[in-house]
Amino acid sequence: VELSIPGRTYGLHDIAMFNLLKVMEIVMLENESNPDITWDGLIDQIRDKIRYYIKLMVEGSNICDIGHRDWAPVPLLSSFIEDCVQHGQDITEGGARYNFSGVQGIGIANLSDSLHALKGMVFEQKRLSFAELIAVLKANFQTPEGEKIRARLINRFEKYGNDIDEVDNISADLLRFYCKEVEQYRNPRGGRFTPGSYTVSAHVPLGSVVGATPDGRLAGEQLADGGLSPMLGQDVQGPTAVLKSVSKLDNFLLSNGTLLNVKFTPATLAGDGGLNKLADFLQAFTRLKLQHIQFNVVNADTLREAQQRPQDFAGLVVRVAGYSAFFVELSQEIQDDIIRRTAHQL
């Protein structure tokens, strides 16, 4: 996941997690009483707010970087880095040849799904005013028409991960903007900030601080896992459609690394035929020039059994988002996340 040259790099690849969906929520709430809000105006404000919070993120990250240098040098780790040894300089002082500060942009799938649904519901179909939609979201859909509105937001508007240009292009445009903004900044070690998009398990706590959103997501619900993965259950056109959606993002700009999670049922990969299908799928992945993909091959029923009888599944290993773990040792929230991911067939 983290792109580095071994022995020459101090990447600080997870110096910050940037919650893109929270930025959208802030902008929406700031315009709650604005009768003149337009689609283009909303997107412009989201860009401005991304720029604003990236600047604050850089300031905070650099303060931490300076703190590491002044109060927590790591001479043992530095001894494994070629240039640190040659120059007698700790990695926290910039002794490595390559010095980065990696920032993960989280929630791009939810952001594009939400904006696409908002555009259709408010600005095109005009079923709700902007203020009326915000009122429903602030109530977490607990209004007389709330569940009907939520059902329409979920079911009547296309979602990222299904090879729908209208949705995927929103993801591509805003993620490109985020990357270009991050790349402008430098750290105290003389290196650059680098944008990436992989969550580890941060999509759960980051979702807990965001209210209900126009993609139909409830207040506090997790964000899409992985980084570039679609939201749970929204990738309904098959795994190749997922690859094509991700390919529309500028993967080259995500120099700090990316992650796409894909879950397959064991039956679809059974035997030589299943392995051949997986090989074809991976060839498509490479031809589309994507960075990183990882798989779970497991039935949801097996995972539910493991939740009920953890003593019988102590050796069950799953991929979370950039790392492997024993399923029964994960938190309930992460276990449920893995269970709810779309199980694809080839």
Q: 105-151, pLDDT tens digit by residue? A: 999 999 999 999 999 999 999 999 999 999 999 999 999 999 999 99
Q: Dump pLDDT digits (tens) for 277-306.
A: 999 999 999 999 999 999 999 999 999 999
Beta bridge partners of 102: 194
Q: Is the pLDDT of residue 1 over 80?
A: no
Q: What is the mean pLDDT of the chain?
A: 96
Would residue 95 count as lying in a domain?
yes
Please, are residues 220 and 227 in contact by the beta-carbon 8 Å criterion? no
Q: Dump pLDDT digits (tens) for 173-202.
A: 999 999 999 999 999 999 999 999 999 889
Would residue 323 count as lying in a domain?
no
Q: Report CA dihedral (84, 88, 91, 92) to the nearest 10 degrees.
A: -170
The DSSP H or E segment spanning 280 is helix 271-287
Predicted structure pTM score: 0.94
Q: Is the pLDDT of residue 341 over 80?
A: yes
Q: Dump pLDDT digits (tens) for 60-73.
A: 999 999 999 999 99
Average pLDDT over residues 323-327: 92
Please, are residues 83 and 95 in contact by the beta-carbon 8 Å criterion? yes
Looking at the structure of the chain, the number of domains it has is: 1
Interatomic CA distance for residues 227 and 217, integer angstroms: 17
Q: What is the pLDDT of residue 3?
A: 85
pLDDT grade for 214, boundaries at 50, 70 and 90? very high
Beta bridge partners of 16: 103
Would residue 171 count as lying in a domain?
yes
**Domain boundaries, position 206:** 9-260
Q: Is the pLDDT of residue 323 over 90?
A: no
Interatomic CA distance for residues 249 and 253, integer angstroms: 9
Q: Is the pLDDT of residue 228 over 90?
A: yes
pLDDT grade for 42, boundaries at 50, 70 and 90? very high
Would residue 243 count as lying in a domain?
yes
